Amino acid sequence: MPRRVAVTGVGLVTPVGVGTEETWRALLRGDCGIGPITRFDAASFSTRFAGEVKGFDPTRWISAREAKAAMADSFVQYAMAAGAMAMEDAGLVLEGALAERAGCFVGSGMGGVSTIEATCQALHAKGPRHGISPFFVTQIAISLAAGQLSIRHNARGPCYSQVSACSSGAHAIGDGLRVIQRGDADVMLCGGTEAVVTPLGVGGFAAMHALSTRNDAPALASRPFDLERDGFVLAEGAGILVLEELERARRRGARIYAECKGYAANADAHHITAPAVAGEGAQRCMRAALADAQLDGSEIDYVNAHGTSTKMNDAVETFAIKQVFGAHARRLMVSSTKSMTGHLIGAAGSVEGALCVLAVARGQVPPTINYTTPDPDCDLDYVPNIARDAKLRNALSNSFGFGGTNACLIFGRHEG
């Protein structure tokens, strides 16, 4: 029998708040973290807004020297902050034998984009001898988010990074679940981080015509499942969970938020950006996660949807949910927190997985804001505009990424 896995720590850095409680309270209020871009002059861009992390001071978690050198890129800084929050929340210190039984998986879609941009400019201005920092490679490598967290917290077990576009953070959590289930570790720090609100990040997604262009009303731009949606909103941040073998967590008297009950990953094998016809890959992934959790669809009460606010994704995901859950789909609460945070790319799945954990633990479901005009192709209960109190048994988090990569996670209430 696979070992059972608990969630004992949560750390969040998002556009609506730096901190888990700050983020959770903001989402329940329906706050929007999307606004005009301040990171760079976006006047010439077709999309001039994003979900930026605001008020972030990296020296709360790392030294000023580290923030200027080895951990200069924000994607690592966000991971370090969220990881420290999660470990403090779990009340864990990794030492002795436990350090050998603890690992770290942190995914990202794009890594150190801002450092690459800045280094290219310095290279052209100063040449290779003076324009490239000796820290350049270790600042941009996606694996260094997990590596730096491992070093900081003395996690000496499995350590690597999942790179699977918008599913990266969810894959990291799912892979961490598997490592504990099979007995290769007892504790895993898992999640995703991203910092792509940069000229290349915004410009690249804009060139694909993937982003909303509602520049006159940024706070209204991310509107999943609404008839008037016109694209997603790029965002940044990190979400890290502490996963722990359930009996170990019980023995030490840990607070258990929820159990990580099920996970599945697959591929559409269809198109680099468009979902498979009728959401066939998403359907298979959701069904596989249910089977892994040994749950019937009727036992799921809430779905945190991938819900990007694009025409195709939202309609296809809605159809896939209806196919998987049948008549029960009408009783499901389905919300997209991207309406408030924007799309955190590689961190999206871990942040949204963490929100499922909190929803199960606290009996509250965050809303889908900006839902004003129903779309006939999107006809489920999207928890429109106002958070809802609800005692949840199990919650499903969907993550679907470019390249046709899919990940589904299921978190359930811990009964003591």
Task: Read off the pTM.
Answer: 0.98
Q: Which domains does the chain have, with CATH numbers?
A: 5-251 (3.40.47.10), 263-412 (3.40.47.10)
From the CB of residue 47, how many other CB atoms can be counted at a distance below 10 Å?
24
Contact 408, 306 (CB under 8 A): no
**Which of 104, 159, 166, 378 is labelled catalytic?**
166
Mean per-residue pLDDT for 234-253? 98
- Please provide residue 304's backbone torsions phi and psi, each rounded to the nearest 5 degrees: -85, 105
Cα first-last separation, the chain: 20
pLDDT of residue 317: 98
The string of pLDDT tens digits covering residues 256-283 is 999 999 999 999 999 999 999 899 999 9
pLDDT at 380 over 80: yes
- Active-site residue flag, 306: yes
Mean pLDDT, residues 86-111 taken together: 97
Residue 90 has pLDDT above 80, yes or no: yes
- pLDDT category of residue 70 using cuts at 50, 70 and 90: confident
What does the pLDDT look like over 12-27, one tens digit per residue? Answer: 999 999 999 999 999 9
41-55, 57-71, 176-190, 353-367 — which is least confidently predicted?
57-71
Q: Which of 306, 378, 408, 414 is catalytic?
A: 306
pLDDT band at 1 (very low <50, low <70, confident <90, very high): confident
Give me the percent of the chain exceeding a pLDDT of 70: 100
Instruction: Give the chain's mean pLDDT.
Output: 97
Q: Is the pLDDT of residue 367 over 90?
A: yes
User: Mind spelling out the 3-state secondary structure of 66-107?
Assistant: HHHCCCCCHHHHHHHHHHHHHHHHHCCCCCCHHHHCEEEEEE
Segment 2-17 shows an average pLDDT of 97
Helix H or strand E encompassing 190: strand 187-194
Q: Is position 414 annotated as part of the catalytic site?
A: no
Q: Is the pLDDT of residue 218 over 80?
A: yes
Say what the pLDDT of residue 38 is.
98
Residue 415 pLDDT = 83
Catalytic-labelled residue, pool 260, 343, 356, 408: 343
pLDDT at 5 over 80: yes
- Which pairs from 200-208 meet CB under 8 Å and 24+ separation? 200/113, 200/116, 200/117, 201/110, 201/113, 201/234, 202/37, 202/42, 202/45, 202/47, 202/50, 202/234, 203/45, 205/47, 205/232, 205/234, 206/45, 206/46, 206/47, 208/273
What per-residue confidence (pLDDT) applies to 207?
A: 97
User: Is residue 194 within a helix (H) or strand (E), and if so which, with residue range?
Assistant: strand 187-194
At 378 the pLDDT is: 98
Asked whether the predicted pLDDT for residue 416 surpasses 90, the reply is no
pLDDT digits (tens, 9 = 90+) for 295-345: 999 999 999 999 999 999 999 999 999 999 999 999 999 999 999 999 999
> Could you write out the DSSP letters of every residue in 216-283?
T-GGGT--TTBTT---B-BB-EEEEEEEEEHHHHHHTT----EEEEEEEEEE--S-SSSPPGGGHHHH
Give residue for tokens 């606010």: 309
Residue 2: both structure tokens together: 């696979």
Question: Is 159 among the catalytic positions?
Answer: no
